[in-house]
Structure 1
């Protein structure tokens, strides 16, 4: 993969970080909202449980309290009641008309607010009830140590006694606050972990997408570079032909050369486009049963060069006719180019058993190219670093075959394209 920092690559890398940041922000926002909702629901549930508890204590004791015939409160039932012996604080207050509130019974006084606040709560309970028996009042306040508590007040009235009694019950403002704190810690740690995991996943996934985008960018640049390099020479030659002002007797030859150059450029563009489309997954190679010997003969005939000699035996393969024609044509052009040192020497094409071999009688394999003759950019004695042989190797790989170049006995080179033979017994083309 190309690692240079071109503007396009820099934009892709910024897009990766922006995508990661966006996923992180969205995940963090969602986690915060869900955590807030979960914590609020839990807090509300625990508060409701506290309200139910203090209302049960205050209301139960209010129904149990009595007074005797001498208009004296009977606190025995309150003191002995299990509701007045639990975890909730209890205060019984009584007030005669025109007098102040008096505390007649106190249990767990430390959970209750100050005396002034207790008096205020008793008055609010009486006022809010508006004379209704057992009408509860719920308030949140602080006890004498400053801790939040939930207080329920329930009034008691009698038709045969003018005094008013208020039962106050109080407990911590939240039921089992330790468990609520544990929930908050779990939400904080779990949410943080989830955000980190989402960030890491977004970074990795965007990196994977970035690699694919960089690969496509490299392939795009490779296509442009190959096209520019390969078309430069024939275009220059074509320009020289059109500017040479040939003589009348040379016009036909010049037009023939122009047509040959145009055909060569068309083949190059076709090959480059085919490879680019298939490498990016836009197109798939055709899978057709075909006669490789007939295809090679047709390509040799199109080349229209007297030096080409074809020796072909029936050979059936599965492949893409256009790609195979391109590969064979490139092999022929390579043989004709490197065999040009001897204009009388033939370029021999042999086809048999899924194999196409092209032999020239040129100077042989350049030692510089011998290690990687099919690599794009490999340059031989001519100094050319075209992509013809690289396309041959790619076509072979696409068809699950292989390609090779080796020295020929007696001089020259042999370029070979091998394809797996077709499975004629199966009745359908073999899958590649």
Structure 2
């Protein structure tokens, strides 16, 4: 990563962390709201169950209590009742006129308030009933251990007896509070894990997006660097030509050289743009059935160099004519440039079976570049390699083929572009092709 890109990368990293933080905050807020609502709904439901339970017990036992003919309270029906044997506390308060309250029966006493509070509740229930039989009331408070409880009381009156009985039933203000606490812990831990997973997923996905952006930035910088590198020499030469003030008899030659340089720059820009568009997925190579031999002959004829000797055999391939012309032209320029050691030596072009081979009689393959002759920027005898051969390799790869450069027998090099031969029998029955 180049140093001049560090501010860009720093901004992208800040944006990545900001996106992660924002997604985490939003997820945490959503989880918090959901957890609060879920816990509140569960607590309300359990409180309702507890209220219903104490009211059912106090009301049921109040209807079961009796007294005998001797005006003696019969508690056996209360004690033996299933409602008085469960998890709900029961206290039977009895009071005769002018006397204080007495506890005639207790069950699960620890879930009820202290004696003074029970007596107070019994008085409040008696007064609140206003003489109405089974007029129950519910109160909230704490038991003798400090736990929050719900107490329901139901009064019992008799027309033939002046004794008053109040049945008190109590239980924890929330049914099965242990299960509620477990739910709260599960919501807390699950919510925390969900927030962490959301943060991690956002960080990873934003990192993936950032890598794509960095890749596009690399391709953009590579395009600009390639264009600047390749166009610098022809532009400098063109500038020198325009400033040379040629003589009248040299004008045509100067113009021809200027046109050649302009054509070369146009080809370079075309190749760079095509590669950039295809690497970014904007465009795809054209797939056309074409004669590779005729294409190579046309490119060689356009080059117009007398050293070129073309031997072509019919060869049909499927490919993009513009990209293949660019690749062949770059191979020809490479052969003509490196074969310039002997100006009289030919540059031989051979086309057959989807293969274009160009042999020069130059100094041969530089050992330094022999391992990666198609890599952009590889250094050789003549300095750093440009993008010409790199484009050749890319065009070959885009067509499902390959490119190679190897030493030729007797000196020089052979550059080869190979493409899969086209199946000209497509459309015929399969059995006929066999």
TM-score by length of 1: 0.91
1:292 alignment partner in structure 2: 292
Deviations 1:211-265 (Å, cap 9, x if unpaired)? 2222111111111111111111111111222222222222222222221111111
Q: 1:327 to 1:130 in 2, by over 3 A?
A: farther
Aligned length: 427
1:167 alignment partner in structure 2: 167
Whole-angstrom CA distance in 1 between matches of 2:427 and 2:380: 44
Whole-angstrom CA distance in 1 between matches of 2:293 and 2:98: 123
Greater than 6 Å deviation, 4+ residue runs: none
Whole-angstrom CA distance in 1 between matches of 2:72 and 2:288: 111
Deviations 1:315-356 (Å, cap 9, x if unpaired)? 001111111111111101111211222333222211100000
Whole-angstrom CA distance in 1 between matches of 2:301 and 2:123: 115
Whole-angstrom CA distance in 2 between matches of 1:314 and 1:109: 107
- The range that moved more, 191-200 or 144-153, is 191-200
1:257 alignment partner in structure 2: 257
1:63 alignment partner in structure 2: 63
1:219 alignment partner in structure 2: 219
Partner SS for 2:383: coil
Aligned Cα root-mean-square deviation (Å): 2.3
Whole-angstrom CA distance in 1 between matches of 2:251 and 2:101: 128
Partner SS for 1:87: coil
Partner SS for 2:379: coil
Whole-angstrom CA distance in 2 between matches of 1:313 and 1:216: 41
Whole-angstrom CA distance in 2 between matches of 1:332 and 1:375: 18
1:18 aligns with 2:3: no
1:237 aligns with 2:237: yes
1:272 aligns with 2:284: no
1:350 alignment partner in structure 2: 350
Deviations 1:62-106 (Å, cap 9, x if unpaired)? 111234556654433223323223322112234567765444333
Q: How does 1:91-240 map to 2 (within 5 A)?
A: 91-95=91-95, 101-129=101-129, 131-159=131-159, 164-240=164-240
Deviations 1:256-292 (Å, cap 9, x if unpaired)? 2221111111111111111111111111111111111
TM-superposed CA distance for 1:303, in Å, is: 1.6
Partner SS for 1:6: helix
- The range that moved more, 243-252 or 402-411, is 243-252
Whole-angstrom CA distance in 1 between matches of 2:322 and 2:124: 96
TM-superposed CA distance for 1:16, in Å, is: 2.3
Whole-angstrom CA distance in 1 between matches of 2:128 and 2:418: 99
Whole-angstrom CA distance in 2 between matches of 1:416 and 1:209: 38
Whole-angstrom CA distance in 1 between matches of 2:155 and 2:204: 66
Whole-angstrom CA distance in 2 between matches of 1:125 and 1:280: 82
